[in-house]
Copies of this chain bind each other. A is one copy, B any other.
Amino acid sequence: MLSKNKAKFIISLQKKKTRDEERLYVIEGDKIVGEFLAAKIRLHSVVARPEFLKSLHSDYLSYAGEITEVSFDELRQISTLKTPHNALALVPIPETCMNTDNIPGSLCAALDFVQDPGNLGTIIRAAAWFGIKNIICSENCVDVYNPKVIQSTMGAILHVNVFYCDLKEFLARAGERNVPVYGTMLEGRSIYKYDLDNRGIILLGNESKGISDELKPFITEKIKIPGINTGTPGIESLNVSMAASVVFSEFMRRRVNKSEL
Contact = CB atoms under 8 A, between A and B. Distances in A.
Interface of A: 34-35, 38-39, 118, 122, 125-126, 128-131, 152-159, 190, 192, 225-230, 232-239, 241-242, 245-246, 249-250, 252-253, 256-257, 261
B131 A242 contact: no
A257 B253 CA distance: 15
Contacts of A252: 192, 226-228
A158 B233 contact: yes
A234 B228 CA distance: 34
Given A235-B159, A249-B246, A228 B130 contact: yes
Across the A-B interface, the 9 shortest Cβ-Cβ residue pairs? A131-B228, A155-B234, A35-B233, A242-B245, A129-B227, A158-B234, A246-B249, A192-B253, A156-B234
A81 to B, nearest CB: 14
15 contacts: A35-B233, A122-B239, A126-B239, A126-B242, A129-B238, A130-B227, A152-B239, A153-B234, A154-B234, A155-B234, A155-B235, A156-B234, A156-B235, A249-B249, A249-B250
A118 B152 CA distance: 12
Contacts of A122: 239, 242
A133 to B, nearest CB: 9
A122 to B, nearest CB: 6
Nearest to A159: B234
Given A125-B242, A242-B125, A245-B245, A157 B234 contact: yes
